[in-house]
Amino acid sequence: MAYEISDSVTIAASPAEVYDLVSDVTRTGEWSAQCRRAEWDSDDRGDGATFTGHNHRDGREWSTVSEVTAALPGEEFSWRVTSSGTRWGFRMEPVNRREDATVLTEFTAFTGEGEAYFRQKYGDDAASQEADRRDAATYGITDTLQNIKGILEG
Protein backbone atom coordinates (compact mmCIF):
# COMPACT_ATOMS: atom_id res chain seq x y z
CA MET A 1 0.00 0.00 0.00
CA ALA A 2 2.74 2.47 -0.92
CA TYR A 3 1.39 5.98 -1.38
CA GLU A 4 2.28 9.61 -1.86
CA ILE A 5 0.18 12.46 -0.51
CA SER A 6 0.62 16.21 -0.82
CA ASP A 7 -1.29 19.44 -0.46
CA SER A 8 -0.38 23.09 -0.97
CA VAL A 9 -1.30 26.51 0.34
CA THR A 10 -0.34 30.04 -0.69
CA ILE A 11 1.22 32.08 2.11
CA ALA A 12 1.88 35.82 2.23
CA ALA A 13 5.55 35.42 3.15
CA SER A 14 8.79 34.98 1.25
CA PRO A 15 10.17 31.51 0.49
CA ALA A 16 13.08 32.33 2.80
CA GLU A 17 10.73 33.17 5.70
CA VAL A 18 8.71 30.01 5.10
CA TYR A 19 11.86 27.89 4.99
CA ASP A 20 13.18 29.43 8.20
CA LEU A 21 10.00 28.38 9.99
CA VAL A 22 9.48 24.87 8.60
CA SER A 23 13.15 23.92 8.92
CA ASP A 24 13.14 24.79 12.63
CA VAL A 25 12.07 21.35 13.86
CA THR A 26 11.96 22.66 17.44
CA ARG A 27 8.78 24.55 16.44
CA THR A 28 6.99 21.56 14.88
CA GLY A 29 4.65 21.23 17.86
CA GLU A 30 3.18 24.64 16.95
CA TRP A 31 1.66 23.37 13.71
CA SER A 32 1.55 19.57 13.69
CA ALA A 33 -1.49 17.65 14.90
CA GLN A 34 0.63 14.59 15.63
CA CYS A 35 4.22 15.64 16.38
CA ARG A 36 4.06 17.42 19.74
CA ARG A 37 7.74 18.37 19.83
CA ALA A 38 11.07 17.69 18.18
CA GLU A 39 14.69 18.36 18.94
CA TRP A 40 17.90 18.19 16.98
CA ASP A 41 20.18 15.29 17.89
CA SER A 42 23.33 17.39 17.27
CA ASP A 43 24.33 20.92 16.30
CA ASP A 44 24.24 20.02 12.58
CA ARG A 45 21.19 21.29 10.65
CA GLY A 46 22.00 20.33 7.04
CA ASP A 47 21.69 17.22 4.90
CA GLY A 48 22.32 14.14 7.00
CA ALA A 49 21.46 15.82 10.32
CA THR A 50 19.08 13.92 12.57
CA PHE A 51 16.29 14.96 14.88
CA THR A 52 13.91 13.14 17.19
CA GLY A 53 10.18 13.77 16.98
CA HIS A 54 7.80 12.95 19.81
CA ASN A 55 4.34 12.06 18.57
CA HIS A 56 0.90 11.62 20.11
CA ARG A 57 -2.28 10.35 18.49
CA ASP A 58 -5.39 8.59 19.79
CA GLY A 59 -3.90 8.11 23.26
CA ARG A 60 -0.72 6.55 21.88
CA GLU A 61 2.75 8.11 22.17
CA TRP A 62 5.94 7.26 20.28
CA SER A 63 9.19 8.82 19.12
CA THR A 64 11.01 8.58 15.81
CA VAL A 65 14.42 9.59 14.57
CA SER A 66 14.53 11.30 11.18
CA GLU A 67 17.39 12.20 8.87
CA VAL A 68 17.37 15.41 6.84
CA THR A 69 17.52 14.57 3.13
CA ALA A 70 17.22 18.11 1.70
CA ALA A 71 18.04 21.41 3.37
CA LEU A 72 17.78 23.95 0.55
CA PRO A 73 16.92 27.40 1.96
CA GLY A 74 13.85 28.88 0.30
CA GLU A 75 13.27 25.71 -1.75
CA GLU A 76 12.91 22.48 0.24
CA PHE A 77 13.25 20.95 3.68
CA SER A 78 12.65 17.21 3.80
CA TRP A 79 13.52 14.17 5.86
CA ARG A 80 13.28 10.39 6.06
CA VAL A 81 12.02 8.54 9.14
CA THR A 82 14.88 6.15 9.77
CA SER A 83 12.80 3.24 11.09
CA SER A 84 10.21 3.05 8.30
CA GLY A 85 11.78 4.96 5.43
CA THR A 86 8.72 7.20 5.19
CA ARG A 87 9.62 10.50 3.56
CA TRP A 88 8.18 13.85 4.63
CA GLY A 89 8.94 17.41 3.64
CA PHE A 90 8.06 20.88 2.48
CA ARG A 91 8.70 22.54 -0.86
CA MET A 92 8.52 26.30 -1.39
CA GLU A 93 7.93 28.14 -4.66
CA PRO A 94 7.61 31.91 -5.06
CA VAL A 95 4.26 32.99 -6.48
CA ASN A 96 4.84 34.44 -9.95
CA ARG A 97 8.51 35.06 -9.09
CA ARG A 98 7.45 37.41 -6.30
CA GLU A 99 9.38 37.44 -3.05
CA ASP A 100 6.40 38.19 -0.80
CA ALA A 101 4.23 35.13 -1.48
CA THR A 102 4.99 31.42 -1.46
CA VAL A 103 3.24 28.24 -2.48
CA LEU A 104 4.09 25.82 0.32
CA THR A 105 3.62 22.13 -0.41
CA GLU A 106 3.84 19.47 2.26
CA PHE A 107 4.33 15.91 1.06
CA THR A 108 4.80 12.40 2.35
CA ALA A 109 5.67 9.12 0.67
CA PHE A 110 5.15 5.73 2.26
CA THR A 111 7.33 3.33 0.29
CA GLY A 112 7.93 -0.38 -0.05
CA GLU A 113 10.47 -0.01 2.75
CA GLY A 114 7.66 1.22 5.00
CA GLU A 115 5.43 -1.66 3.97
CA ALA A 116 8.14 -4.16 4.95
CA TYR A 117 8.69 -2.35 8.26
CA PHE A 118 4.96 -2.39 9.05
CA ARG A 119 4.64 -6.11 8.16
CA GLN A 120 7.51 -6.88 10.51
CA LYS A 121 6.18 -4.64 13.29
CA TYR A 122 2.41 -5.25 13.04
CA GLY A 123 2.10 -8.65 11.33
CA ASP A 124 -1.47 -9.35 10.21
CA ASP A 125 -2.55 -5.87 11.31
CA ALA A 126 -0.05 -4.10 9.00
CA ALA A 127 -2.59 -3.14 6.31
CA SER A 128 -4.93 -1.63 8.90
CA GLN A 129 -2.06 0.30 10.50
CA GLU A 130 -0.93 1.60 7.09
CA ALA A 131 -4.48 2.73 6.22
CA ASP A 132 -4.74 4.51 9.56
CA ARG A 133 -1.44 6.35 8.94
CA ARG A 134 -2.54 7.30 5.43
CA ASP A 135 -5.81 8.79 6.72
CA ALA A 136 -3.94 10.70 9.45
CA ALA A 137 -1.49 12.08 6.89
CA THR A 138 -4.23 13.08 4.45
CA TYR A 139 -6.03 15.24 7.00
CA GLY A 140 -2.93 16.20 8.97
CA ILE A 141 -1.13 17.72 5.99
CA THR A 142 -4.02 20.07 5.24
CA ASP A 143 -4.30 21.11 8.90
CA THR A 144 -0.53 21.56 9.18
CA LEU A 145 -0.41 23.85 6.16
CA GLN A 146 -3.23 26.01 7.51
CA ASN A 147 -1.47 26.26 10.89
CA ILE A 148 1.82 27.30 9.25
CA LYS A 149 -0.05 29.89 7.18
CA GLY A 150 -1.61 31.27 10.36
CA ILE A 151 1.76 31.53 12.10
CA LEU A 152 3.41 33.33 9.19
CA GLU A 153 0.53 35.64 8.34
CA GLY A 154 -0.28 36.38 11.99
Looking at the chain, the whole-number percentage of residues with pLDDT higher than 70 is 95
- Record the pTM: 0.89
Exposure string of 102-117, with b = 16+ CB inside 10 Å and e = fewer, is bbbbbbbbbbebbbeb
Please report the pLDDT score of residue 95 as a whole number: 94
pLDDT of residue 6: 96
| pLDDT confidence of residue 7 | 96
Q: Is the pLDDT of residue 21 over 90?
A: yes
Q: Is the pLDDT of residue 136 over 80?
A: no
Q: Is the pLDDT of residue 147 over 80?
A: yes
Tell me the longest C-alpha to C-alpha distance in the chain. Answer: 50
- Domains in the chain, CATH or no CATH each: 3-153 (3.30.530.20)
So what's the pLDDT on residue 58?
A: 84
Say if residue 126's pLDDT is above 90.
Answer: no
Give yes or no for residue 92 having a pLDDT over 90.
yes
- Contact (CB, 8 A) for 69 and 89: yes
CA distance 140 to 9: 14
Measured distance CA(43)–CA(20) in Å, rounded: 16
